[in-house]
Each structure stands twice: as structure tokens, then as C-alpha cells.
Structure 1
Amino acid sequence: MAQLSGKTVFITGGTRGVGRAIALKCARHGARVAVAARQVEGCAVVDEIRAAGGLGVAIACDIRDEQQVGAAIAQAVREFGSLDVLVNNATTLVLKSTTELSMGEYDLMADTNTRGAFAATKHALPHLRRSTNGHILTICPKPQLDPQWFSSNLAYTASKFAMGLMAFGLSAEQQRHGVASNALWPFSTIDTDGLAECGNPAFQARPRKPEIMADAAFWIVTQDSTAFTGNFCIDETVLREAGVADFEQYNAVPGTPLAELSRDHMVAPEQLARLNELRQQQAAAAASGNG
């Protein structure tokens, strides 16, 4: 239970939601965890990290400000002596069409989602290259030229797909340095404050808990960084391939059938096909008594 013992994990947007769940998962496996967010005063996540068995620090940081990002990374390294994993989790979501979106809202998404992830990566890389198993994990979907993802929320989609291009490009750029870069995205919607604010009843009806993303993220960042890189991962697919069969544990609404989960945006057709293949294989194995 200590696959991250002695390792330092830095998580942007790490005080709540998916970021918090990843922080606690890593802490339970021995990690030293730095969480960065605009507001950290009064947040409970550091106490939760310590209670889970890790060491923790919360750092106030506006991800849009490069100086603050650089200072936050430097503080984490001073605190814990190294940096082994960067999780680019911080995201701003504004679901509006082009004519409805203000330029201030556009800048907020672009500066948080795309520029913020780039800045965190830029400042983390010198430290990650010194790690024996350096990982960058970006919470974003696989870029797709499919009109359905752009027709309602162009600016948000463009910012998240840009994160995906960066995640893929970093794999090519950093592989010679032994640093892995992968992306992770949920199959279902995830029960977070952001989901509660999206105003879409279908998305909010039957989501999964953030722990499914945390478990998938943990599996990814504990792989060999020289071998597992450049992947666009779906949370359920990662866990099924890792041998997980119990997905009821992740349901925010107990008893939700797979077919009734609230589906997330932007799962690519080939990703869905692979997931369905795994579901069928596990169902067949269970039916035959081999699962």
C-alpha cells in the first residue's frame, strides 16, 4: 500500500472534487502531496491527507499567474525535497455559445485550462526529469474533430482539446528525459461542485464519485514512465484493464445500471468501443464463473 512512498505529487485544483480525491488516494499510498488552489485558507484537505497517511501542504496559487505557479512548485520542492508527479487538474467551465460568452469568460477558461497547465508543466519539468519515475497527468479528453463537441460549447471544448494536444506533445518531447505524459477523462459525469453548477439535469442525474478518477489516476502515475506515455485514458477502461470488476462502489446513486449512467462529454468513438469490449469480456467471464 505504499507505491508512492517518498514520492511528491503536485495537484492543481487539488482542494476539492477530482483533485482532492486524487490527493487522498496518493496519500493513502505514502505520497507527499502538495495541492494548489486559488483559495486554501480554511480548507480541510491537508488534514485529510495527513489522516490518510501522507504528508500534505496547501499552497495558494492562481494558476493563471506564471509567477505564482513557479513559486508554488518551488515551495512544494522546498517542503518535500523533490517532485515526481504533476497532475494538471485545475479547470474553469463556462458552458456558453460564442455570442453569449464574454471575452473575460473566454480568457478565464483559456488562461486556467490551457495556459495554466502549460505553466505548471514548464516549471515542474526540471524537477520531474530528476525523478526516477516522473509523470505528468492532465485531466482532459482526447482531441476530436467532431462537430457535436463544438456546437454548444466551442470555447470550453477548444480549451480542453488544447490541453489534450499539449499532453500528447509532451509525451513526444519528454520521453527522452524519462518523463511520461498521459491524459485522463471520465466516461460518466463526476459528482463535483462543477457538475452541480453546470445546470444540466441529464448530466447531474446519475454521476459517479470522484474516487473512480482517483483510482485511475493512481494506476497511471505508478506505471513505468519510460513505457506508459502518450495515452488518452478513460477512467473505467483503465480500471477494467487493471482488473477492477466492482463499479457499483463508484456510483453516486447506488444501484445505477451502466446503461443509465450520466454520460460525460467528449469520449471518442474508439474509446467507447474499447470500453464496451472490456465490459462484454468481463460479463462473459463472470457468467462462466471465471470472473
Structure 2
Amino acid sequence: MVDLRDKTLFITGASRGIGQAIATRAARDGANIIVAAKTAQPHAKLPGTIHDSAAAVEAAGGRALPVAVDVRDEMSVARAVAEGAEHFGGIDIVVNNASAISLTGTAETPMKRVDLMWDVNMRGTFAVTQACLPWLRRADNPHILTLSPPPSLDPAWYGPHVAYTLSKMGMSLCVLGWAEEFRAQGIAANALWPRTVIDTAALAMLGGAVKPEHCRTPAILADAAHAILTRPARTCTGRFFIDDEVLREAGVTDLSGYAVDSSKPLLPDLFLPEALAMPRSTA
């Protein structure tokens, strides 16, 4: 494959940030995007709705179907998948991007927040993938792409925020299992994670510890996702990709255009070895 023309992507958390960037990048090829997210009406604190994102997809050259979905609710997921598949005639690609974050210790993490992270991150990823499976089995080059880190048992990542880390590693272990489970069916299951912190609304959850000028934009993940999703599914599965490595494999050598401010040093994201050398407040 050289592009995603006429492919149908079901993207969770697509109303803003990384999900929207992946959607609009695929739309430039002429893809169909099922914009699946919870925000149907303007949010008091966060920018973007499924309708805003759908408009951006269509402006980029794709076709969009905005669907309000709560990935914590399997019935909501089932309805969204059925609506999207009926509208576009199937689903070729699932992008599990929806995620909740709280970088807090055990005593400081209310159970309501624990449930949110586990239900959105791990359970939601499982529910969406499960619901899309019948359509992926019929697709020509089916991919599952999950925004989660390389699996790790390094206690340095568990001690400071065990609940969040468990939820993200759960997503990654789903990828590990699906790659093996679906290998014979030709359905690829891979993960993608950023080398650096990305400038999204999630930065607010870090308490101002990371300034946008030390980040890259969501475009780097969008381009990396595109490079993965255009690979043959049968020969590209079970990988835990890092965004800049994907782009270098694709021949991109100058990554400066992805920086919010190319004159400022970039901060590594969580769950990568280089981030362990950073002070906790900026990691």
C-alpha cells in the first residue's frame, strides 16, 4: 500500500490532539474516518468535538462520520462500530487512541480516577478492538494500532503512578496478545509511542511541569501512524514502535519541523529509558 485511500479507520479519542491528527493525515489520502469520541458538545476545559474533527477530516480530503461513544460502555461501542461499518461498508483499521491519565501515587489517586484510567485505557481498548473484529477479518489489509508504550517491568515506572502505568501497560499487553492471536488471520496488531512529550491537552494533567516549547506536535505521531498502517499487515505485527524510529525507517531524516520550538530541548516521554535520567517533575 502507498496510501489509505478508501480505507475506513475507526479512531477513538479523535475529537482532538493525537487522534485528530491521525485522522486528518489519513484523510489527506482520501480515507474514511469514523471519528469516535465522547465529546459531542463543546467541553468547558478541553478544545474540540467530534463534529469539529469531522469537519477537519473533510477539509483535508477525507470522508467523516462523527459518532459519540464512551469506550467504557460496550453497548455504546457496539452501536458506534455498527453505525460506522454500515455507513462506510466496513472497517479496515482500528486506532486505539483514547486514554485517561493521572500521574499520582496510590494514596493520592481516588478509586474513581483508577476506574476511569483502567476502563478507558485497558478495557476500552479491548472493547473497541473486540467490536471491530468481525469487520477486520473481512478487510484486505487490517491493522490494529494502539497508542501505548513498549512493555516494561521497570519499577521506576510503577512507583510514582502505579495505577496509570498499569493501565497503559495493560494496553500494551493487549497488543502483545493480539499479534499472536490474530497472526494467522493476517490482522496486524502494533503499538506506537512518542519519543518526546507531545503538545496536547493532556499536558494540563502534568500540572504545568512540561511547557509546550519542549514538546513535539501531534503531527509526528500522525505521520508515523500513516507509515505503519500502509505496511502489509501480515509482515508487520507485534511491534512496539517509537515515532521517530518509524519515520527514520521511512527515510525521514529531518525531524525539526515536528518541534513546537526547534530552538528548545525536547523532553522525553514516559516509559522510555532516556526519561529515567530526567527529574521526575519533567519526565
Q: TM-score, normalised by structure 1?
A: 0.88
Identity %: 44
* In 2: Cα distance, 1:268 partner to 1:166 partner: 22
2:101–2:205 Cα contact (<8 Å) kept:
no
Match of 1:154 among 162, 168, 172: 162
2:151–2:172 Cα contact (<8 Å) kept:
yes
Counterpart residue number, 1:32: 32
* In 2: Cα distance, 1:201 partner to 1:224 partner: 40
1:264 counterpart = 2:266: no
Deviation string, structure 1 residues 186-220 (Cα, Å, up to 9, x no partner) = 00000000113321424655000000000000111
Alignment of 1:139-178 (within 5 A): 139-178=147-186
* In 1: Cα distance, 2:150 partner to 2:256 partner: 26
1:93 counterpart = 2:101: yes
2:194–2:243 Cα contact (<8 Å) kept:
yes
The AA in structure 2 aligned to 1:7 is K
Q: CA deviation at 1:234?
A: 0.2
* In 2: Cα distance, 1:151 partner to 1:118 partner: 25
The AA in structure 1 aligned to 2:219 is E
Q: TM-score, normalised by structure 2?
A: 0.91
SS in 2 for 1:11: strand
SS in 2 for 1:226: helix
Counterpart residue number, 1:20: 20
Q: Is there any run of 5+ residues in structure 1 with no aligned partner, and where?
A: 270-291
Counterpart residue number, 2:8: 8
* In 2: Cα distance, 1:28 partner to 1:107 partner: 37
Alignment of 1:180-191 (within 5 A): 180-191=188-199
Deviation string, structure 1 residues 219-270 (Cα, Å, up to 9, x no partner) = 11110000000000000010011100121110011333xxx2111000257x
Counterpart residue number, 1:198: 206
2:199–2:216 Cα contact (<8 Å) kept:
yes
SS in 1 for 2:66: strand
Q: Is there any run of 5+ residues in structure 2 with no aligned partner, and where?
A: 43-48, 275-283
SS in 2 for 1:86: strand
CA separation of 1:18 and 1:196: change in aligned 2, threshold 3 A? same
* In 2: Cα distance, 1:252 partner to 1:196 partner: 16
Q: CA deviation at 1:40?
A: 2.1
* In 2: Cα distance, 1:64 partner to 1:255 partner: 41
1:204–1:262 Cα contact (<8 Å) kept:
no
Q: CA deviation at 1:147?
A: 1.3
1:144–1:268 Cα contact (<8 Å) kept:
no
* In 2: Cα distance, 1:120 partner to 1:268 partner: 30
Tell me the C-alpha RMSD between the 2 structures: 1.4
2:212–2:260 Cα contact (<8 Å) kept:
no
* In 1: Cα distance, 2:133 partner to 2:70 partner: 19
* In 2: Cα distance, 1:57 partner to 1:202 partner: 34
Deviation string, structure 1 residues 52-79 (Cα, Å, up to 9, x no partner) = 0000011101110000001101111011
